[in-house]
């Protein structure tokens, strides 16, 4: 039965925009739907918070605030957040829809993965978390359900709904948010979370990918929490003999119970993962994992939960076998306040049964029948079909060899990538895990590295045309500086940096040096008649403009009082020189200083705005009295002109 038919939101339009088409998944905090944005006509995922949590105003406010922060996190391995809003009692996030499956789906179907496949998944997860950590966010709920594997093989991290600022030490006295199987010890014991909690969860996920099982299990969540606090995550090789030491060391580093011993964030763990991969040989990377167990997966511990703090403080179990457990069957309240838990009694042995021989004969017969039928099923389902192996990020040669070993043909296409190293596989078509016929071909898309553009030659090109050319080639016009040039016309490009023919990443800026034209020495035209000054400047290749206001100066009326640029400076041919015309000098009454001492006379004249020149002659060498002055006292003279005093 299709349970989505019973969901009241299916078929509804949220916020007048998002038409809910089907329910995808239900988690501990929200339900995820496939929906259509009716405004943009695109398919997206709609995550709607459970009504029981939506009534908590503080929780909703934090959910909205942190969702807005995560929406600014742009990374190819992070599920993008498009929108956030509310519609009545519904609080939702509109997110990128990734067609594919989750890592949990892969683990349920296959069990343990080859080390190469596990690292192929882990590394993009760490790249996404690393970008979040460096941007100031902690995920806080990393688990296989939140790792999406697209049909094209791309890996994306989803559900940053519990995200928190790296700089904010989360401490909750009432509850711990998260998923029991992936909680770090400090989350359980102290309620504190930073980037190292995400590192711990990734270490648990890596163990699970390598072994097919979680490192800690128990009948109740409390037992799992206790093991996180008091037991180290075992080395994967203990469950899967033959796994490389480097993988054991990687898991141990990420899941150290002491947070200070772990890598400080996902970027540091990613460096360790790549180092571990580099230390493994091809056989070690492709080691065949044990067959996946057929038992169904109980996902009770995989849901994001609001875990009561009382559950994270462990209490002693009753020591009297006859004493009932206070919390009831499957509950967590029976875990009391000590550092240990009593082990559950072993299950009773099954009673001896009679009639073994007839039953054994029936079992053998059934097994033979199953083997016969199984061979036919294998031929139909497996003999004719092949699963496309995961070859993402492998070199072209490695990927080609691996596909050939699987009996598949290979076609190669190339594309640019800012994230995948040149010569390595970006994606495959069909994607990893797809079932294809044994004689089918797989198209490899191999990275050419970041898209590069050859810088065009824009020298001797007018600036506006040079900018258009750079944009057309996929480059950005950068800083423009000007220089004089005897050879390049004014406004045309002299050179570029980087120079023509240089390969640069698309979108890179190219700086341009533009000609100011031929340099011209600006002549001195101050004190010259305006028209004569204009003729002299134009003859030098300069333009002339006259300031609207005239000024008083030492020059006669109608002569040039000020010029800009100043005399003897350099200007470009065609530049403009501004001339300011004189209104003539300011006439000032000359003080009478005859009979005054030299010092007093100079003080009076200079105070009136004149320059002073002393004429002592032979007789006045030792004198100190002014006998005469060049302009009589009481007459006027141009301000700034020189008055000569004769000293005897």
Each residue's pLDDT tens digit, 150-204: 888 899 998 775 554 444 444 333 344 557 899 999 988 887 789 999 999 999 9
What is the C-alpha separation between 501 and 345, in angstroms, rounded?
78
Give me the DSSP letters along 543-575.
Answer: EEEE-SS-EE-SSPTTBEEEEESPTT-EEETT-
Axis crossing angle, helix 115-135 with helix 266-278, rounded to the nearest 10: 150
What is the C-alpha separation between 96 and 65, in angstroms, rounded?
19
* Edge-to-edge strand list for the sheet holding 42-49: 13-14, 18-26, 30-37, 42-49, 90-96, 81-87
Left (φ > 0), alpha (ψ -120 to 50) or beta: where does 321 sit? alpha
Q: Write down the pLDDT at residue 597.
A: 93
Q: Write down the pLDDT at residue 643.
A: 94
Q: Write down the pLDDT at residue 595.
A: 93
What is the C-alpha separation between 542 and 534, in angstroms, rounded?
9
Task: Report percent pLDDT > 70 for the chain.
Answer: 80
Is residue 635 predicted with pLDDT exceeding 80? Answer: yes
What is the C-alpha separation between 430 and 509, in angstroms, rounded?
38
- Residue-wise pLDDT for 451-468, tens only, equals 788 999 999 999 999 999
CB atoms within 10 A of CB 128: 25
Task: Report percent pLDDT > 90 for the chain.
Answer: 45
pLDDT band at 345 (very low <50, low <70, confident <90, very high): very low
| One-letter-per-residue 3-state SS of 522-533 | CCCCCCCEHHHH
Q: Across residues 378-397, what is the average pLDDT? A: 68
Q: Across residues 352-368, what is the average pLDDT? A: 42
Q: Across residues 138-143, what is the average pLDDT? A: 90
User: SS3 of 231, please?
Assistant: coil
Contact 247, 211 (CB under 8 A): no
Q: How far is CA 333 from the centre of its chain?
A: 43
- Residue-wise pLDDT for 224-278, tens only, equals 898 999 999 999 999 998 899 999 999 999 999 999 999 999 999 999 999 999 9
Q: Write down the pLDDT at residue 528.
A: 93
Closest to 118 measured CA to CA, from 228, 200, 196, 212:
212
Contact 165, 136 (CB under 8 A): yes
What is the C-alpha separation between 231 and 543, in angstroms, rounded?
87
Q: Write down the pLDDT at residue 460.
A: 94
Lowest-confidence range among 51-55, 88-92, 489-493?
51-55
Q: Write down the pLDDT at residue 161.
A: 52
User: SS3 of 37, please?
Assistant: strand
Contact 7, 23 (CB under 8 A): yes
Q: Across residues 589-601, what is the average pLDDT? A: 94
Bridge-based pairing of strands 100-102 and 147-150 is antiparallel
Closest to 157 measured CA to CA, from 196, 188, 187, 123:
123
Closest to 30 measured CA to CA, from 199, 158, 200:
158
Q: Write down the pLDDT at residue 178.
A: 59
- Residue-wise pLDDT for 9-43, tens only, equals 999 999 999 999 999 888 777 889 999 999 888 99
What is the C-alpha separation between 140 and 164, in angstroms, rounded?
7
| Residues ≥6 apart with Cβ < 8 Å to 389 | 402, 403, 406, 432
For 158-311, strand residue ranges (E) read 164-165, 175-178, 305-308
Q: Across residues 422-432, what is the average pLDDT? A: 86
Which class for 49: exposed (0-12), middle (13-18), buried (19 or more C-beta within 10 A)?
Answer: buried
Is residue 429 predicted with pLDDT exceeding 50? Answer: yes
Is residue 617 predicted with pLDDT exceeding 80? Answer: no
pLDDT band at 620 (very low <50, low <70, confident <90, very high): low
Please give the mean pLDDT across all residues of the chain: 80
Q: Which of 73-87, 195-209, 211-225, 398-412 has the highest mean pLDDT?
A: 195-209
Alpha helices in 337-440 (DSSP H): 356-378, 396-405
What is the C-alpha separation between 190 and 198, in angstroms, rounded?
16
Contact 135, 147 (CB under 8 A): no
Six-digit token pair at 92? 């939702």
- Residue-wise pLDDT for 434-454, tens only, equals 778 767 889 999 988 777 889
pLDDT band at 66 (very low <50, low <70, confident <90, very high): low
Lowest-confidence range among 180-189, 294-303, 338-347?
338-347
Which class for 544: exposed (0-12), middle (13-18), buried (19 or more C-beta within 10 A)?
Answer: middle
CB atoms within 10 A of CB 625: 13
Assess whether 439 carries a catalytic annotation: no
Is residue 407 predicted with pLDDT exceeding 90? Answer: no
Angstrom CA distances, 107 to 112, 113, 290, 378, 543, stand at 7, 8, 12, 21, 80
What is the C-alpha separation between 302 and 221, in angstroms, rounded?
11
Q: Write down the pLDDT at residue 452.
A: 81
What is the C-alpha separation between 511 and 475, in angstroms, rounded?
11
- Residue-wise pLDDT for 68-112, tens only, equals 767 778 888 998 888 888 888 889 999 999 988 999 999 998 899
DSSP H/E element including 47: strand 42-49
Closest to 373 measured CA to CA, from 396, 528, 365:
365
Lowest-confidence range among 185-199, 222-236, 353-367, 622-636?
353-367
User: SS3 of 636, please?
Assistant: strand
Q: Write down the pLDDT at residue 220.
A: 84
Is residue 535 predicted with pLDDT exceeding 90? Answer: yes
Q: Write down the pLDDT at residue 356.
A: 40
- Residue-wise pLDDT for 547-579, tens only, equals 999 998 888 899 999 999 999 888 888 889 999
**The Cα angle at residue 228 between residues 253 and 78, in degrees rounded to 5:** 60
End-to-end CA distance of the chain: 128
pTM above 0.85, yes or no: no
The rounded radius of gyration (Å) of the Cα atoms in the chain is 42
Q: Please, what are the domains in the chain?
A: 3-96 (3.30.200.20), 100-312 (1.10.510.10), 386-447 (3.30.10.20), 452-515 (3.30.10.20), 519-584 (3.30.10.20), 587-647 (3.30.10.20)
Q: What are the backbone angles phi and psi of residue 277, rounded to the nearest 5°?
A: -60, -45
What is the C-alpha separation between 209 and 299, in angstroms, rounded?
16
Does 320 or 102 have the greater pLDDT score? Answer: 102
Is residue 529 predicted with pLDDT exceeding 90? Answer: yes
Six-digit token pair at 239? 């469950």
Contact 543, 506 (CB under 8 A): no
Which of 141, 194, 248, 596 is catalytic? The answer is: 141
């Amino acid at each position: 039965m299709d349970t989505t038919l019973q969901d009241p939101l299916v078929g509804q339009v949220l916020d007048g925009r998002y038409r809910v088409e089907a329910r995808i998944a239900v988690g501990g905090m929200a339900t995820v739907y496939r929906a259509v944005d009716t405004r943009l006509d695109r398919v997206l995922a709609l995550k709607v918070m459970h009504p029981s949590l939506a009534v908590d105003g503080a929780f909703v406010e934090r959910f909205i605030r942190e969702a807005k922060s995560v929406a600014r996190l742009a990374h190819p391995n992070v599920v993008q957040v498009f929108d956030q809003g509310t519609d009545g009692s519904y609080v939702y996030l509109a997110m990128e829809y990734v067609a594919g499956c989750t890592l949990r789906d892969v683990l349920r179907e296959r069990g343990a993965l080859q080390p190469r496949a596990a690292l192929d998944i882990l590394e993009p997860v760490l790249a996404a978390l690393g970008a979040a950590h460096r941007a100031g966010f902690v995920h806080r709920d990393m688990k296989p359900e939140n790792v999406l594997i697209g049909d094209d093989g791309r890996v994306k991290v989803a559900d940053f709904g519990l995200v928190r600022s790296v700089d904010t030490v989360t401490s909750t006295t009432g509850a711990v948010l998260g998923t029991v199987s992936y909680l770090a010890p400090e989350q359980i014991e102290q309620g504190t979370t930073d980037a190292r909690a995400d590192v711990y969860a990734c270490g648990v996920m890596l163990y699970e990918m390598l072994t097919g099982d979680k490192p800690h299990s128990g009948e109740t969540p409390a037992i799992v929490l206790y093991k996180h606090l008091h037991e180290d995550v075992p080395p994967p090789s203990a469950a899967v003999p033959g796994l490389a030491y480097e993988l054991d060391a990687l898991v141990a580093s990420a899941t150290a119970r002491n947070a200070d011993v772990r890598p400080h964030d996902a970027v540091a763990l990613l460096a360790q993962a790549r180092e571990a991969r580099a230390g493994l040989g091809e056989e070690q990377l492709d080691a065949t994992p044990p067959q996946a167990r057929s038992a169904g997966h109980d996902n009770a511990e995989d849901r994001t939960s609001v875990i009561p703090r009382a559950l994270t403080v462990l209490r002693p179990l009753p020591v009297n076998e006859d004493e009932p457990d206070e919390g009831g069957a499957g509950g967590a309240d029976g875990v009391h306040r000590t550092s240990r838990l009593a082990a559950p009694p072993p299950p009773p042995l099954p009673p001896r049964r009679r009639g073994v021989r007839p039953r054994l004969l029936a079992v053998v017969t059934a097994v033979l029948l199953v083997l016969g039928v199984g061979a036919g099923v294998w031929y139909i389902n497996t003999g004719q079909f092949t699963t496309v192996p995961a070859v993402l990020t492998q070199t072209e040669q490695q990927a080609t060899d691996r596909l050939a070993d699987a009996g598949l043909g290979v076609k190669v296409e190339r594309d640019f990538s800012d994230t995948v190293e040149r010569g390595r596989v970006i994606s495959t078509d069909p994607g990893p895990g797809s079932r294809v016929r044994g004689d089918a071909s797989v198209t490899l898309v191999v990275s050419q590295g970041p898209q590069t553009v050859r810088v065009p030659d824009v020298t001797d090109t007018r600036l506006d045309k040079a900018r258009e050319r750079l944009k057309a080639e996929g480059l950005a016009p950068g800083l423009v500086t000007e220089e004089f040039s005897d050879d390049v016309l004014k406004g045309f490009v002299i050179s570029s940096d980087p120079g023509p023919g240089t390969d640069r990443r698309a979108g890179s800026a190219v700086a341009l040096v533009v000609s100011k034209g031929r340099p011209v020495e600006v002549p001195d035209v101050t004190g010259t008649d305006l028209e004569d000054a204009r003729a002299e400047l134009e003859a030098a290749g300069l333009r002339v403009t006259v300031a609207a206001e005239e000024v008083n100066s030492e020059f006669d009326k109608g002569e040039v009082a000020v010029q800009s640029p100043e005399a003897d400076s350099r200007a470009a041919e065609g530049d403009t020189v501004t001339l300011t015309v004189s209104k003539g000098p300011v006439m000032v009454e000359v003080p009478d200083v005859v009979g005054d001492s030299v010092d007093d006379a100079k003080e009076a004249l200079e105070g009136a705005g004149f320059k002073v020149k002393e004429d002592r002659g032979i007789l006045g060498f030792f004198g100190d009295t002014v006998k005469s002055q060049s302009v009589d006292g009481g007459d006027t003279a141009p301000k700034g002109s020189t008055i000569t005093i004769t000293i005897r």
